[in-house]
Amino acid sequence: MAPKDSIIERCRQIAEQLDRSTRHHPRDIEKEIDEVERELVRLRDELIIQCRRQGDPVGVSERGQTRLGQINVALSLVVAVEYPVTSIQRTALEQARDVLKNC
């Protein structure tokens, strides 16, 4: 299981990957977005497990809840990019990146 600092570092790494993705052609973004989505899901699940092991009866501490919320927001934005109504929405990637930078 990842320590808290590792969670912060992983959020930053994902944010950097999203930043790079926004510069690619829409057809080239798909594979990278799939990887980001999988990593966000792993990170979210690990954070939930970590908080539960700390004995928090609600499931997450206040700081953990904040991080979990940020990761869920970023995940929702990334998923929105995968299923666009018209075309790749770079602003959603940029918003996800910004959320993760503050994780």
pLDDT of residue 1: 42
pLDDT attached to residue 62: 73
Using 70 as the pLDDT threshold, list the residues of the chain that sit under it.
Answer: 1-5, 54-61, 82-89
What's the chain's Rg over C-alpha atoms?
Answer: 14
Q: Any residues with CB less than 8 A from the CB of 67 and at least 6 apart, and which?
A: 7, 11, 47, 103
pTM of the model: 0.72
pLDDT for residue 102? 82
| Tokens, residue 91 | 């602003």
Range 65-94 burial, b when 16+ CB lie within 10 A, else e: eebbebbebbbebbebbeeeeeebeeebbe
pLDDT of residue 56: 56
Q: Which amino acid is at 99?
A: V
